[in-house]
Amino acid sequence: MPSPLPLLSDLVRLLFPEQCAGCGLALLAGETPLCTACRADLPRTGYHLQADNLLAQQFWGRLPLAHTFAYLHFTRRGLAQRLVHALKYRGQQTVGVLLGQLYGAELAEAGLATAFDVVLPVPLHASKHKARGFNQSDCFAEGLAQGLALPWHAHGLARVRATATQTRKTRAERLDNVEAIFTVAQPNLVTDRRVLLVDDVITTGATTEACGQALLAAGCASLSIAALAVRNN
């Protein structure tokens, strides 16, 4: 006699369909957490194919970067914003992991899988991590590392001082807000290694820059940046 569990699972899915994190429509089997249409409509930057892309130019004179990438363009009320909010504020961690996997596969296809030794996410302060329950950059970094077939370490960097939110701050205020707040918790993961630093959304780049300075001071062989999304003002 067949087990009733698969039938029950199908009934639950029929009555309470999972919704796409991008558009909110019901997902078909195998589509989680994004529907096929939203995957096709992702506002990709293509920055990994442009050495002097807009994000790379943003860091000129600030950090010596080997590679500078961002997967998606972040616009107000756009698809990338909806996905970032689903990840950060609704706890849909699978969104970050999936987007990392997709981008990692694109980077690997472009021949970049051998450009890095380790993937490190920008950390949250312990108090914010406890309140949220996870670090959104970890999710994207995990998927990215899977797509690139590289190791990633959630605790290679540490945030030693809590800061006020960066939202609505000017660039100068953001730089002051993040000065000297990161440390390399595990130098063995960094020294003489090609580090890919992963952030969620880059606006002014102040947080990413502060992290990068800590990694360079720890003696990484080269530093690169990959963000889930970039907000071009």
- Give me the DSSP letters along 190-213: TBTSEEEEEEEEESS-HHHHHHHH
Give the three-state DSSP class for 97.
Answer: helix
Domains of the chain: residue spans and CATH: 1-41 (no CATH), 42-230 (3.40.50.2020)
Predicted local distance difference test score (pLDDT) of residue 29: 84
166: pLDDT confidence band, cut at 50, 70 and 90? very low
What are 170-180's pLDDT values in tens digits? 555 545 554 56
Residue 8 pLDDT > 60, yes or no? no
What are 19-66's pLDDT values in tens digits? 999 999 999 988 889 999 999 999 999 999 999 999 999 999 999 999
Residue percentage of the chain with pLDDT more than 70: 85
Q: Output the average pLDDT for the chain.
A: 89
25 with 19: CB under 8 angstroms?
yes
Task: Specify which residues 26 forms β-bridges with.
Answer: 19
Predicted local distance difference test score (pLDDT) of residue 6: 55
Predicted local distance difference test score (pLDDT) of residue 3: 55
State mean pLDDT over 73-98.
96
State mean pLDDT over 99-126.
96
